[in-house]
Structure 1
Amino acid sequence: MFFSFSKNKEEKSQLDAINENFAVISFKPDGTILDANKNFLEAMGYTKDEIIGKDHKMFCNPKYSASQAYKDFWENLNKGKVQTSEFRRIKKNKEPIYLQASYTPIKDSNGHIYKVIKFAQDITERKIQALDYSGQIKAISKSQAVIEFNLDGTIITANENFLNALGYKLDEIVGKHHSIFCEETYKNSSEYKDFWKKLNNGEYEAGEFLRIGKNGKKVWIQATYTPIMNMDGEPFKVVKYATDITHKKNIMFEIGENIQKLTKSLNNLSTASNTMSKEAKVTMDGSQEVSVSLEQMNQAVSDLSEKIESMLASINTIALEATNGEEISKGVKEQSKTTSAAMIKLNEEASKISQTISIITQIAFQTNILSLNAAVEAATAGEAGKGFAVVAAEVRNLATRSNEAAKEITTAVEYIQSLIKNSLDSIHMIDSTIEEMSSISSKISNSMSEQQTISNALASSALETSQGINEISHTMINVSQSAKTTEDEAIETVNASKELIDISKTLISTIKSLN
């Protein structure tokens, strides 16, 4: 019989309950096996005959049974000390088994230990699960920063990763509040109070957090704050698992700053492009104004050519009349009147030419001013205005040449008017003496011949001026087209700048989403 039963039925019932629910084995004080119940034999995979009389060491790892810890274990039992713990033992098939057991020394009536009874339960499944959890926690602790808090935020403990990340030693933080890792503005905020309120309600918190290490060191962490529940499902502490992402965060900040700089540069480029576009438009408008002025000048020169042709016709008429005057002395008086009238008409034509020349001079002056303004606009337009600056200079040269030609024509007209005055004076002398008629007619004829030569020169100058103005007009058309091309390119630059800005903004949004 395994137990020495008492006559008391209640005691027997208690022993039966123990045998039914526990694995039970008994030993001599030296470890020799005396007996074992069914639960123990099934748990270890043995029959009773295979273990009776054997030593307890048969259930132990040889390394453990040869250790000082094993000797101390049996010495304590022989001193009457109960040994209760979780024990790793080896089954018959060499598989490990974990037992939650109590080794209890039994004394006789004289107080001597005469045997040891072990009451055990198989906790292998629970132990393996616990070891799995423990292994995972150890693995997490190796790769992550871990710190534990009471529900009031007081620090319980922290691993090496956490201490290294924040620059503290363990004794510098244990018993302190979590707020030592927070910025002043944050730890005094309602947001921080709500943070701990949620944790106390069993809600976990996860995200990126800025924390302050020793000596003000800024540390960015990717972390989870997890409330740990007790057997009643209520939180009793908080464990934080964190990864140091400071380096990654700083790189992101640097990328963000560089993209902002790029965006600013692109905005400047866009502004410059808009300015260039406006300047190109101003240049084109200036070209069109110059073209209009040149058209006006060309029209004035055409009018001048017509007036010169009219003047040539008058000169030819006067020359013919003067020649005929030598042959028809009878009609000298009437002819002198006709000649005088023709000379007056010639003088009027010369006056009209002077007025036209004045208009041409004014147009040339306005053209010169416009070309100067265009040169200034070209200079402010930078690289895009270099080509137009050359054209503006050429326009200014042609305007100067037109002005000089106008001055020469004015001089020639003044000379013609002087000759007309002399001719009129000569004609007036016809009334006083017929004898001088031939001489005067010859003089008039010679004067008209000279005037005709000058008028031919004026016509040639007018033609040259007209050709020059046509050349300027053609050049200004090219300038206008060039300005239009510049404006189109500026618009393309603006569009490209806007596209780059949009791309930069998209990139910033993408980086923020990665965070």
Structure 2
Amino acid sequence: MFNFGKTEEESARLVAMDENFAIISFKPDGTIIHANKNFLDALGYSLSEVVGKHHRMFCDRNYINTSEYETFWKDLANGKAYIGEFERFDKNGKSIWIQASYTTVKNSSGKVTRVVKFAQDITSSKKVANSVKEAIDLAKTGIFDQEIKDTTDNKGVEELKNGVNELFKIVSSKVALDINKVSKALESYQRLDFTHRISDSGEISTGINNLAEIINDMLVENKSNGLTLDKSSNILLTNVDKLNVSSTEAASSLEETAAALEQITSNIRNNTENIHKMASYSNSVTKSASDGQNLANQTTLAMDEINAQVNLINESIIVIDQIAFQTNILSLNAAVEAATAGEAGKGFAVVAQEVRNLASRSAEAAKEIKTIVENATKKANDGKEISNHMIEGYKELNQNITNTINLIQDIEMSSKEQLSGIEQINDAVNSLDAQTQQNAQIASQTHDVAVLTDEIAKLVVSNANAKEFIGKDNVKAKNIDIKTETTNIKKVESRPIKPAIKTISSQSDNSEWESF
């Protein structure tokens, strides 16, 4: 018996340990100093057979030649303790497992003087644990119809063994002997073949079959959805292509329309400016017509004055004519008197004759002047009549010009309103053109989305076809009510816009005057 204690209490504890543990003490180099009865009985040795021998006598021959074993004793000599499970061998070479604690004893200077090992035989527990491990390894291969029969005094290990045996019974009752069938089914599912079913009524088999049915239904639904999506995406792609073409054509037509409206706006703006010029020209013509009317009035007054002067000339001609007549009478009287006078009156007769001739010429001249004056009077009267007609014409011209100006002003106002309206339409068309361009861009982006959707749909169908499941070849796309007809957008035919600008030339004034 070991006796390290100094008090009765310590001695009692040592006695209890000696009775319950296998105890052996060593020198720091591993030489055996003493072993108690429990230790000797466990390994089949007597005390004399072990004292003075080295610890290696209990170890595996391969282990004692390792650096690990050498380090083990070096650590103990340096005061390091070890606790754990160790495999040792008895006198007959039989393997024994112990739960041991290697504790060092030091002197007052701290030097290790001995190593004491407290051990318990756990061979039966280790055997049960190994049996449990082997049973679990067999269970991994699908074998559950087994029972661990080894026993141990270790209550915890025994409970573990009983629990594993009970678990095997439960699994066997739930799965029966078809665990390999389950494994085969799972391997089939791992290969994406979900057509395999387990022909057993066990709960796990039933559950796996139900799971396979759910997966199968899901794959059928996935393929159906993929086919439906593929069908829908094809329709979508077709319609998007049509929309893309229509949007592009609409955008092109709107661009042409916007350009045409811009040209029309420019034409109307030019027309408005020309109408404004026409109004200005009309005002000038009105002024010219008024000036012409004033000149005609002045001409009429001048003609009246000419007539008055002609009348005065007529009166003077009458006087001259009367003087010529009286002169002619006097010349006749003078001729008579000269004839009466005879030779003495010959010279006077010549003078009288000359006077008579002068009177005749004066009368003829007066007559000619009278004719000229009468003609002048007639011309003056004709001029007056023409002037009166001109005055009436100018009045009518002024009235027509006034009416024309009013019409031009109305047209100018309408042109301004048209210009304002066409500018608003132009702005609206430009805005619509921008929106149409944006719609065309969106249609292009939608086309890309439709292409991607179509690719995804085909990928879904491809993934579904890569798996084996019941009803795979009978899956069809769902019936969906999709209207594939699209309204064709009629392209607006572009028409060239001819400039409506009318050039106002100066000849138009002459044509107006020619009407008079």
* Structure with bigger gyration radius: 2
Query: Taking structure 2 as the reference length, what is the TM-score of the superposition?
Result: 0.31
Query: Taking structure 1 as the reference length, what is the TM-score of the superposition?
Result: 0.31
Q: Which has the higher strand share?
A: 1
